[in-house]
Amino acid sequence: MAKLSTKSRNALSTKSFAGPDRSYPVNDRSHAANAKARASEMANKGRISSAEKSQIDRKADRVLKRKG
């Protein structure tokens, strides 16, 4: 996964995040795939709801389906 510095993360728009409170950045394919994996992990642990997981998956899928 590409390294995302604090400065770069802070510069991202709110639309570049899949989770609440600017969590789960999905600014590129590697971060989108990681967001899906972490959301599944947190849902299995009961830390996020299935609705939150679905929202994160939908936003990450949009990035993953882009060509390029």
Residue 54 phi/psi, 5-degree rounding, is -60, -40
Structure token digits, residue 64: 């993953």
Residue 57 lies in a domain: yes
d(CA 36, CA 60): 7
Q: Total domain count for the chain?
A: 1
Q: What is the pTM of this model?
A: 0.89
**Distance from C-alpha of 50 to C-alpha of 16, rounded to nearest angstrom:** 21
| pLDDT > 90: percent of the chain | 91
Give me the pLDDT at residue 4, please.
93
Residue 66 lies in a domain: yes
Structural domain containing residue 44 = 24-68
Q: Tell me the per-residue pLDDT of 42-60, one tens digit each, with 9 for 90 and over.
A: 999 999 999 999 999 999 9
Is 34 part of a structural domain of the chain? Answer: yes
Please give the chain's pLDDT, 68 residues, in tens: 778 999 999 999 999 999 999 999 999 999 999 999 999 999 999 999 999 999 999 999 999 998 75
